[in-house]
Amino acid sequence: MHNCCSSQEQVNGLNRHGWWRDAVIYQVYVRSFLDSTGDGIGDLAGVRAGLPYLKKLGVDGIWLSPFYPSPQHDHGYDVADYCDVDPVFGDLDEFDQLVAAARRLGVKVLLDVVPNHCSAEHPWFREALAAGPGSAARARFHFADGRGPDGAEPPNNWHAMFGGPAWTRITEADGSPGQWYLHMFTPEQPDWNWRNPEIPAEFDRVLRFWLDRGVDGFRIDVAAGLYKHPELPDSDDPEIDARTRDSVNPLAWNQPEVHDVWRHWRSVCEEYTARDGRERLLVGEVSVPSAREHAKYVRPDELHQAFFFDLLGAPWDADAFRKVISEAMEDIAGTGSTVTWVLNNHDQVRTVTRYGEPAPEASGLGAARARAAALLMLALPGAAYIYQGEELGLPEVVDLPDDVLTDPIFHRTGSRARIRDGCRVPLPWSGQASPFGFTTGAQNAKPWLPQPEYFAEYVTERALADTRSFWHLYRDGLQLRSALPQLGEGTLRWLDAEPGVLAFVRGDGLVCAVNFGTAPTPAPVSGIPLLTSGPCPPGVLAGSTTAWWIADGTPET
Ligand code: GLC
């Protein structure tokens, strides 16, 4: 972060720049980061042990995937208790130690809060099952009688995101066939009824619980969810969410009332900032149909940031990238926010593999493009999120055997094509063979997903020792981002460039150019680049490569 303000401003809570506006946050998928107990599952003590590594990389903060008590039907996105730590991951004392250690290092800590749904094992859902139709306990969820003779048909025709109907019928306490409840994901994840005032009040308590423990903010799961159309009517295209694996059913997502929730959460953050001057951050997983709808979530009194997923979704093509980048800049201008770029996360195929298609991975094309994309992202105006392993250039593990797959998408749809286990394989830290230093404790269990032999090439100890590694590219990019006033927040201006090349200038003469083609092109500016994602002879921008220069004078468009 280079937009720091004076210490006096920070003390007074007058940090108008907002540390988050161009922050780079590292997503820690806790169960796959580092295992300190040896049970084969990463944990909070492992995250604490890894903090110096992340500090050295140069990120501003970490986002921790859910570590709350959970039966893990969707790896913690099925929360049974929002205010505790699952024993698999540690305990509250360990959590406090992690936050304290991060604070000492100047690394911010964001938690993942899941307000659209909970776990079927949440005490309020169990209470609702026991309490019976019409009870106050059922009114915290969406329970309804079925349609058709004997109520045997679901209350409406919606399908769940991960396949199958969005409703499950229960058996009442007396053994009779009962009501149905709504779940937009798996049946183990009942949706909360946000029209019941108890739910916003409960989440107010949850936020304060963690803010009181010192966190710097929250990543909000399914932030366009929460409210549904009040009448829960049938949809014209009931399978659209499952088909697109995106939240697009207009009756189930993006209801206007959700914006009041974000206004309230923002005010809670401001309240804490007013107390101690530390600005808290709300970043939403917002998946909505248009840029205009997206922008609504980051109005000045709502979320600070919302992930801009269109860059992640763009094919490796100069025109496609230019289009989504331009749209993002236009969409965000005037909202008070900055664009929040992301290329990888725990739900998506990793860039090295995604950009390698259809060419065989072994060609190295995917890796070269992933490196180029990383340097492009770090040069764009705004904030960026890095997903663990991205800094090692990990490919997707595409050949996991069916019997180890845990993603509910696989089990509910039978689809190997879009499973999410392949990007969640535990990180390789050291050594020549699995567990590659991932498991450090006494129990000596295998990592919860098998690591392929080729992970030996990606271990962090090797990456740190090799200046040509992905790790050094990310580290160098992050260092320059901190040092150069042209990078981070601001605007960009496109430059004329060869076909298949994107070039833009940031601030006072920092030029970034990306060659999307495979053949070399003349460099768009003269001089020696500050940083390149791959080798470039003098005056040349190699294929599948990004370079940064400080230009002499301001280049012409
Ligand atoms: C979000 C999470 C994903 C999870 C889903 C349901 O999309 O990123 O991992 O399965 O929400 O909570």
Are 53 and 128 part of one and the same domain?
Answer: no
In which domain, by residue range, is 108 found? 19-118+196-473
- Among 68, 307, 347, name the best residue to mutate to test ligand 1's pocket (greatest count of ligand atoms within 8 A of Cβ): 347
Pairing of strands 501-506, 510-515: antiparallel
Any ligand 1 atom below 6 A from CB of 74: yes
Q: How far is the CA of 422 from the centre of ligand 1 (A)?
A: 15
Any ligand 1 atom below 6 A from CB of 253: no
Q: How many domains does the chain have?
A: 2
Nearest alpha carbon, ligand 1 atom 9 = 347
- Return the pLDDT at 169: 98
Are 400 and 361 part of one and the same domain?
Answer: yes
- Return the pLDDT at 415: 79
Residue 519 falls inside a structural domain: no
Residue 538 falls inside a structural domain: no
Q: Which residues contact 440 (CB under 8 A, 6 or more apart)?
A: 34, 35, 36, 38, 46, 49
Are 143 and 176 part of one and the same domain?
Answer: yes
Atom of ligand 1 nearest to the CA of 117: 12
- Return the pLDDT at 555: 65
Cβ count near 218 (within 10 Å): 25
Are 112 and 235 part of one and the same domain?
Answer: yes
Residue 514 falls inside a structural domain: no
- Among 192, 219, 221, 412, name the best residue to mutate to test ligand 1's pocket (greatest count of ligand atoms within 8 A of Cβ): 221
User: Measured between alpha carbons, how far is residue 343 from residues 24, 372, 385, 408 in Å?
Assistant: 12, 12, 8, 23
Are 83 and 175 part of one and the same domain?
Answer: no
Any ligand 1 atom below 6 A from CB of 347: yes
Atom of ligand 1 nearest to the CA of 74: 10
Any ligand 1 atom below 6 A from CB of 222: yes
Annotation marks residue 221 as catalytic: yes
Torsion sign (Cα): 75, 77, 80, 84: positive
Any ligand 1 atom below 6 A from CB of 1: no
Any ligand 1 atom below 6 A from CB of 19: no
8 A C-beta contact, residue 428 and residue 456: yes
Are 161 and 266 part of one and the same domain?
Answer: no
Atom of ligand 1 nearest to the CA of 420: 9
8 A C-beta contact, residue 168 and residue 129: no
In the structure encoding, which two tokens stand for residue 403, read together? Answer: 């019997």
Q: In whole angstroms, what is the distance from residue 324 CA to residue 283 CA? A: 20
- Return the pLDDT at 226: 98
| 182, 204, 227 - which closes a domain | 182
CATH number reported for the structural domain that contains residue 74 in this entry: 3.20.20.80
| 473, 507, 541 - which closes a domain | 473
Q: How far is the CA of 82 from the centre of ligand 1 (A)?
A: 16
CATH number reported for the structural domain that contains residue 164 in this entry: 3.90.400.10
Residue 262 falls inside a structural domain: yes
Any ligand 1 atom below 6 A from CB of 221: yes
Any ligand 1 atom below 6 A from CB of 91: no
* pTM: predicted TM-score of the whole model, two decimal places: 0.95
Looking at residue 136, the DSSP 8-state letter turns out to be T
Annotation marks residue 552 as catalytic: no
Catalytic-labelled residue, pool 221, 279, 331, 391: 221
Nearest alpha carbon, ligand 1 atom 6 = 77
Of 518, 344, 358, nearest to 423 by C-alpha is 344
Location of structure tokens 């050594």: 431
Q: Which residues contact 179 (CB under 8 A, 6 or more apart)?
A: 133, 138, 143, 144, 145, 146, 151, 169, 170, 172
For residue 320, give the H/E element and its range. helix 318-332
- Return the pLDDT at 3: 38
Looking at residue 513, the DSSP 8-state letter turns out to be E
Are 60 and 170 part of one and the same domain?
Answer: no
Any ligand 1 atom below 6 A from CB of 162: no
Atom of ligand 1 nearest to the CA of 116: 12
Residue 306 falls inside a structural domain: yes
Are 333 and 354 part of one and the same domain?
Answer: yes
Residue 387 falls inside a structural domain: yes
Q: How far is the CA of 221 from the centre of ligand 1 (A)?
A: 6
Nearest alpha carbon, ligand 1 atom 12 = 77
For residue 499, give the H/E element and its range. none
Nearest alpha carbon, ligand 1 atom 2 = 221
Are 381 and 404 part of one and the same domain?
Answer: yes
Are 339 and 403 part of one and the same domain?
Answer: yes
Question: pLDDT truncated to tens, each residue of the chain (557 aa)?
Answer: 343 333 333 333 333 469 999 999 999 999 999 999 999 999 999 999 999 999 999 999 999 999 999 999 999 999 999 999 999 999 999 999 999 999 999 999 999 999 999 999 999 999 999 999 999 999 999 999 999 999 999 999 999 998 899 999 999 999 999 999 999 999 999 999 999 999 999 999 999 999 999 999 999 999 999 999 999 999 999 999 888 888 889 999 999 999 999 999 999 999 999 999 999 999 999 999 888 899 999 999 999 999 999 999 999 999 999 999 999 999 887 787 999 999 999 999 999 999 997 655 556 999 999 999 999 999 999 999 999 999 999 999 999 999 999 999 888 888 777 789 999 999 999 999 999 999 987 788 899 999 999 999 999 999 999 999 999 999 999 999 999 999 999 999 999 999 999 999 998 899 999 999 999 999 999 999 999 999 999 999 999 999 999 987 656 66
Q: How far is the CA of 347 from the centre of ligand 1 (A)?
A: 7
Q: How far is the CA of 185 from the centre of ligand 1 (A)?
A: 8
Nearest alpha carbon, ligand 1 atom 3 = 347
Residue 492 falls inside a structural domain: no
Q: Which residues contact 315 (CB under 8 A, 6 or more apart)?
A: none
Are 371 and 247 part of one and the same domain?
Answer: yes
**Degrees to nearest 5, angle at CA 546 with 377 and 518:** 125
Nearest alpha carbon, ligand 1 atom 5 = 77
Any ligand 1 atom below 6 A from CB of 77: yes
- Return the pLDDT at 553: 66
Nearest alpha carbon, ligand 1 atom 7 = 222
8 A C-beta contact, residue 546 and residue 369: no
- Return the pLDDT at 361: 52
195 burial type by CB count under 10 A (0-12 exposed, 13-18 middle, 19+ buried): middle
Residue 345 falls inside a structural domain: yes
Helix (H, G, I), strand (E, B) or coil at 547: strand
| 413, 444, 473 - which closes a domain | 473
Q: How far is the CA of 77 from the centre of ligand 1 (A)?
A: 6
Q: How far is the CA of 550 from the centre of ligand 1 (A)?
A: 40
Catalytic-labelled residue, pool 93, 236, 237, 271: 271
- Among 82, 192, 219, 222, name the best residue to mutate to test ligand 1's pocket (greatest count of ligand atoms within 8 A of Cβ): 222
Q: Which residues contact 204 (CB under 8 A, 6 or more apart)?
A: 264, 268
For residue 302, give the H/E element and its range. none
Any ligand 1 atom below 6 A from CB of 239: no
Are 278 and 402 part of one and the same domain?
Answer: yes
